[in-house]
Amino acid sequence: DGGITQSPKYLFRKEGQNVTLSCEQNLNHDAMYWYRQDPGQGLRLIYYSQIVNDFQKGDIAEGYSVSREKKESFPLTVTSAQKNPTAFYLCASSIGTGISYEQYFGPGTRLTVT
Amino acid sequence: QKEVEQNSGPLSVPEGAIASLNCTYSDRGSQSFFWYRQYSGKSPELIMFIYSNGDKEDGRFTAQLNKASQYVSLLIRDSQPSDSATYLCAVDTGVSASKIIFGSGTRLSIRP
């Protein structure tokens, strides 16, 4: 089955700790994305990558970092510099980078930082 | 700043009726328009996309696009309780490839 996997589903961390969220896809998609969703809000773009070894900041990149060493993988690190990290994190991918390509989402990781 | 606006709802529709969800966008250069359904606690699921003015039908769903007025709508015919969810409208930025902007969503409730 092709799809996008994110792990873990729930993650709990203490304030001041860095944490890495996993995202893997076997759809052979070129582009991958990370979004953050807060309660009652839409999705806000953190980072995106159109090709291996290249990525761009989204609208709320501060306090986050990513890497794209393999086409299939796009991990997100939430650093201690992120002021309000508790949120629902969604990874997505799309077949290409044209403006007409729809994005498909993984199941999400719910991060709670206390 | 590019924006996508949706009425947050909740929109309450009786079972079997037509649910109409609306979305407006600010960037006249936008070319691609998407509707996602999101159940509580779950990730968004793509249900429709539309690129050309007019209507696009897929089963009980119809997407309508009017670029001159900068709005896109989603009609759900014969609404079912399983249609109760939040519906997110998403629009490409019109400038940068790959980036789309999401509205905050409309919560739809189908009452039996």
Nearest residue to A17 (alpha-carbon basis) of A82, A96, A65, A72: A82
Q: Are strands B11-14 and B106-111 parallel, antiparallel or unpaired?
A: parallel
**Residue A95: exposure state from Cβ atoms within 10 A (0-12, 13-18, ≥19):** middle
Mean pLDDT computed over A10-32: 94
- Supply A65's token pair: 């970092």
B83 touches chain A (CB under 8 A): no
- Contact between B99 and A45 using a beta-carbon 8 Å cutoff: yes
- Which one has a higher pLDDT value, A41 or A35? A35
Percent of chain A with pLDDT over 70: 95
- Contact between B98 and A99 using a beta-carbon 8 Å cutoff: yes
Instruction: Report CA-CA distances (Å) from A44 to A100, B63, B68, B111.
Output: 19, 23, 26, 31
- Contact between A102 and B4 using a beta-carbon 8 Å cutoff: no
For tokens 């509707």, the residue is B35
Chain B CB contacts of A43 below 8 Å: 44, 88, 102
For residue A55, is it left (φ>0), alpha (ψ between -120 and 50) or beta?
beta
- Which one has a higher pLDDT value, B83 or A51? B83
pLDDT 10s digits, B24-83: 999 888 888 999 999 999 999 999 999 889 999 999 999 999 999 999 999 999 999 999
- Contact between B46 and A103 using a beta-carbon 8 Å cutoff: yes
pLDDT at B95: 58
User: Chain A interface residues facing chain B, Cβ-Cβ under 8 Å?
Assistant: 31, 33, 35, 40-45, 48, 50, 58, 90, 94, 97-108
